[in-house]
Amino acid sequence: MIFIMEGQILMILVIMPGVLSGYWSVIFENQCALKGTSVVIKCRYDYPSDHTVTSRWWSKAQYIFGAWSLVPLSRLHSPPDFKYVGDDHGNCDLEINNVRHADEGAYFFSFVTTRNRWTSRNFAELSVKELTAVVQPSTVTEGDHVSLSCVSGCSTPTTIVWFRDGQLVPKPVFRARRDDAGRYYCAVLRQETVTSNLVALNVQYRPTNLSVSIDPPQAAESSGVNLTCSSVANPAAVNYTWYKKTDDSSSMLQVGSGQVLSLPSVEASHTGLYLCQARNSVGENNSTEVLLTMTSEEQGSRLLPVLAGVGAFVCVALVIALLLFWRKPRTCAEEKQTALDSRLSGRSSSSSANEDQSDTVYANIHTFPSPPPLVPAAPDIASHSQRSSHCEDDVPTSYEAEVTYSAVTIKPRNQSLHHHTNNSRAPRDSRSKAGESNDSVIYATVAKSS
């Protein structure tokens, strides 16, 4: 009887599809993902070999109206947020892109065969975390060690990279410098768009780059002057102290405090070397020495005549240069006139020396205005300017009408002609017979200088 009952039970188990061990099953792996990354939920499923899968889908448990329900992913998000990357033969992997906090929860897998349907009894849990950047310590003194750490919250191993103000940081542990101050964040290698929160590193250092400015730089006697001290520090310098080197140059005498040292009335005792000392919570530093000099009113009054003399000298030099430039054409003309007169005088002397008898005839020679000279071309202008600058012997032509008296020496061809010229009627006869005989025509060249 017992054997009969066991056989019947075995028969029932064989007839019921999927009841045998290993025939109907779904196996998951829980996943942890960083916000903004992509994750694949690993899944394997099994079914009887004489079945064929006709459809499959993923669902997410949702708490709706006070009860848990399975909602198909197709109703939650549109592709490509969720993508089935499995197949119909045992792989049921699910890929989720651009993971958000809302994607956290329990996921179930279901499938339908030609003879039955199956929904997993367990589920795959997805956790969503964020990168958290930590700088230790966040405020350091220049030269101290700094450690950067990035917490993801997921046990999945990832490679982390660091950035400061967008620039890659080579090492997460370093000795701080003032240039290392800034905002830091971490990211996943090859997924640099997934970043952590921003954390600030504050690097403090004592005052540096101290400088002193004097206003005005040439302090007059009995006038006021200000000495200003500037520095670069973190935190900013709060204490400034002024010192003046003593006469023996072996010690410094404190003469004031504050960022600006004001001297309302400068005296001879105020001149000398000054420096300022700046201090903050980190330390202190000194500036270089600057020299404060004084200019008396007497020195200023002596300087005015000198400046006036220099100005007068410059004006006189300009006037002389202009006069020389203006007189140059007139000098050239005078030189030409002198040369012409010399030649004419030489000719007249030689003529009178060779002749036993000569008569001097004065004639009125009229010159008429000529038309204005043509404007020469550019090369002609240049050549003419070059010739004029060298005072050549060319005699310019005058365009003004004037009476010119010229001495003309006439040499008779024979004694009878010479005797005839002594007659008072000679000029009239010569004019009347000019057309009859060429012997009575006398040619003379008259040169007129401007």
Task: Write down the domain spans for the chain.
Answer: 25-129, 132-197, 206-294
Task: Check residue 362 and report its DSSP letter.
Answer: E
For residue 130, pLDDT over 80 is answered with: yes
Is the pLDDT score of 250 beyond 90?
Answer: no
44 pLDDT more than 80? yes
For domain 206-294, the CATH superfamily is Immunoglobulins (2.60.40.10)
For residue 32, what pLDDT is reported? 93
Given pLDDT bands bounded at 50, 70 and 90, which one contains residue 65?
A: confident
Inter-residue contact 336 to 449 (CB < 8 Å): yes
Asked whether the predicted pLDDT for residue 6 surpasses 60, the reply is no
pLDDT of the residue at 343: 53
In CATH, 132-197 is 3.40.50 = no
Would you say the pTM of this structure is higher than 0.75?
no
pLDDT at 395: 40
- The tens digit of pLDDT for each residue in 384-434 reads 434 444 444 444 443 344 444 445 454 554 444 343 334 433 434 433 333
Contact (Cβ atoms closer than 8 angstroms) between residue 118 and residue 26: yes
Domains 132-197 and 206-294 share a fold: yes
The set of long-range contacts for 68-74, using a CB threshold of 8 Å and a minimum separation of 24, is: 70/108, 70/119
Q: Which amino acid is at 212?
A: V
Identify which has the larger pLDDT, 157 or 174.
Answer: 174
Q: Quote the pLDDT of residue 387.
A: 41
What pLDDT, on the 0 to 100 scale, is given for residue 214? 93
**Number of alpha carbons in the 13 Å side-chain half-sphere of residue 21:** 0
Pairing between strand 260-263 and 294-295? unpaired
The helix (run of H) or strand (run of E) holding residue 262 is strand 260-263
Omega before 235 within 30 of 0, i.e. cis? yes
Residue 87 corresponds to which tokens in the numbers above? 């197949």
Amino acid at 315: C
pLDDT recorded at residue 423: 41
Position 150 pLDDT exceeds 70: yes
pLDDT at residue 306 greater than cutoff 80: no
- pLDDT score recorded for residue 336: 54
* Mean pLDDT for all residues in the chain: 74
Res 310: pLDDT: 66
Nearest in space to 59 (alpha carbons), one of 48, 74, 78, 40? 74
According to DSSP, residue 416 is labeled H
pLDDT above 80 for 229:
yes
User: pLDDT at residue 107 above 90?
Assistant: yes
Both structure tokens of 325: 């430039």
**CATH class, 25-129 region:** mainly beta
When mean pLDDT is compared across 25-39, 97-111, 174-188, 380-394, the lowest value belongs to: 380-394
Choose the weakest-confidence range: 176-180, 249-253, 336-340.
336-340
Q: Mean pLDDT over residues 20-49, rounded?
A: 86
Q: What is the pLDDT of residue 414?
A: 46
Would you state the pLDDT for residue 307? 56
Half-sphere exposure of 427 (CA within 13 A, CB side): 6
